[in-house]
Structure 1
Amino acid sequence: MLTTSSGWPAAGQGFAQVLAAQLAALTRFSLPPPVFAPMGSATSVPAYASLALSPWNIPGFWSLTSQARTPQPTWVRPGAVEPGAPPPQVSGDERVTTEDGLLTGSGNGLNGLEKMEDPRSSSVLRPPSSILETGPLPLEAFPRPPADNGRGMHWIPTVRSSPAVVDRFVRELVDMNIKWGVFLNDGANIGDNDYLVRQLVAHGIEPVMRVYTNGLEPISGDLGAMVRHYTGLGVHYFQLYNEPNVAAENGGAAPDVNRYLDLWLPAAKVVVANGGLPGFGALSPGGDVDDRAFLRDALLAIRARGETAVLDRAWLSSHNYAGERPLSDPDGFLRFRQYDAIIRSILGRPMPIIGTEGGSYTVGPVDQAKQIEQVLGAYRYMLQREPYNFAYTYWIIANRAGGGHDPAWEWQALFRPDWTSPLVEALKQFAQAYA
């Protein structure tokens, strides 16, 4: 759990790879797809003969901070709240109001939701086997927002937002016709994001929760209760852990598939048992371990453990950072196709792929036109996307203007205290042209 009193992660704690070294990152994920050993062999290390000599493998080259960085049914959601309405009323034993007026969770915080029949209510609850043995959920059965267009946006990189901030930036999301919204929740905390979730749902935006932890560590608190609470408000998707193929998310240690699975699998079972859909992966395309190799090894390890049923309700979180590479580049924006091929080769079926971060960043006003072209092109692609490709999500809508305090992310924000990116107006015009 985070200990900062202001409601945001401390600088350098658990956020995905900083993009300040974007040129190095572009070189890094421009490598061709790795050549794997035959399936089932002892190793599947990418066959890059000169990998050890690459500049990004020199000690200290990548010692950066980390940051948080993815015919359809219509889902009717509860809890519509008008813009500007006050946060929902709760009883005194369920919430505590801090000095700055923000809500924090205390007590059981279930807001009247019934507990599961199993008397054990902690997050270590073993899910009923029937939940894991019903077979893979077909793509069309996964929830989608009304009038889904595949356009996503990452919320402010804080673990809670004031009602005023929520009202302002949800309105901006609506004006850009964003249909998927990714936000951070402080571990198993209940309550801090209630108002945000209600507003997203009320405006037809599918909320995707990243369960924030300080790197790869167990999720403290009652994860099951949190999932039950937020599924009751309209959250279906819960991303567990972030960029496990990055050393910074492993406490500086080398990324390890088994370390990741030892944490992800138990948490995913709890999410499924309590009605949620667990997010897998969230791999960095510029990670210390190749994202495609890590994905393949992780899926093979899950199969070797006899745990593939956990993936029946899972989805793959994608961080789609393409830099200035053309949208047609298979190692850039279209990288999700390689993920899909790996998934199908091991599971024999597709998984939903939801972009939870992404974007194309440039330096200086001369390059803004290029950025607009890249991002609009990505959103335009989503109008005719593959059935498994649910959303492309841009990082980030705001930072300091929305209460964020880490200046490392400010240059990536669309809205800043004294400036608004030209991309905003372009997205609003795009929304009108492609409603």
Structure 2
Amino acid sequence: MSILHRLPYEWLIGLRYTRAGKRASRNRFLSFISLISVAGIALGVAALLVVLSVMNGFEKEVTARMLSVLAHVEVMAADGSMPEWRNIERQALRNPEIVAAAPFAEVQGMLLREDTMKPVLIRGVLPEAEVKVSDIARQTHARSLAALQPGSSNVVLGSELARSLDVKAGDKVRLLVAAPGASSQPGQISTRQQVFTVADVFDSGNYQFDSALAFVHVADAEALQGLGAPVGLRLRLADMYAAPKVAAELARGLDERFFVRDWTRVNATWFAAVQSQKRMMFVILTMIIAVAAFNLVSTLVMTVRDKQADIAILRTLGASPASIMRIFVIQGTLVGVLGTLLGVAFGVLVALNVDVIVPAIEHLFGVQFLAKDIYLISEVPSDLRWGDAGRIGGVAVLLAFVATLYPSWSAARLQPAAALRYE
């Protein structure tokens, strides 16, 4: 109580108006309207925080699953062949950010199994080096990559690709690729076929890769291409977010026969779309908070009309218009702060338990929110960032403060004589 006594009287009166008394039905009605304003702000803040956390989690999860298969940086030969890849590997590993390198070759083709045909990207890898630059070994059985030997014609398929072809380890599949060189007849494309044995199935958790990617030994991929060397190097970094800087440094040290790209450029369109969606969702849901915050305008206008006699008495006792204005600014801002705190608390609680809440809702209503063939993942992820909570809370309090200005200004302009005329 001693702390309250030390507060300026504007704060004491503003606090008193915020928790309107129960002596009159009008006071109770004003208190109910204030609670509605608090609830509106709280729900808006919670909704924005949960949505941004889910979008952050979606971006983080998809990025992690992409990089379990993709390299952080790729160095490729413009002519499609890199016989000097050992020299480039040694040059790249001099960069302290680069922790591993592996050669690769890629071939586009079609996989056939009985009457089913699926497009596939065949990636030739060197098993002992590939485990250092990707998580493919973790996504398969321990000996699967070891089965990829030169000339073995073994292949490791993505889980969705294997499911669509209805194959498992030990089954045979036929690979159809365009043969190097021109066809003998105009308008026709020469093709080459080879039978491969499915050594294993990998599951990256990313539908895009699981449905269209397969691994063979790099020598087998080179033979399919008609080349005698890999087409490039895949590099792993200690910090994946340093990839653009490292790629630029490598590009400056190589001649024009090679080009370098990092993972952010390979998926630039996807990341740009996610960032654009996050900005739009922030704007849209901030409007919901604004609607709730501006409910304070009607609440304060009604409070000002109800407290005209109090305002007039304060003015006759010497209170300045600025003091009257501060009373109602304090009242409205306190409502905004209370709603924001409740909204942040509720939003944090939901964001931290999305992995429990969403499956429960899906099970209860028999629905699936994310189809993995569309959204790349099937679980709803969440990544709560306290910076987002701070920004959302700051915007909500600012909107609540702005909403108090007009009612407070009108209260400050009230003339004591006019207010007391009918009292």
Q: TM-score category by the smaller chain? A: under 0.3
Structure richer in helix, relative to its length: 2
| Greater length-normalized contact order (CA 8 Å, ≥ 6 residues apart) | 2
TM-score, structure 2 as length reference: 0.21
Per the normalisation by structure 1, the TM-score is: 0.20
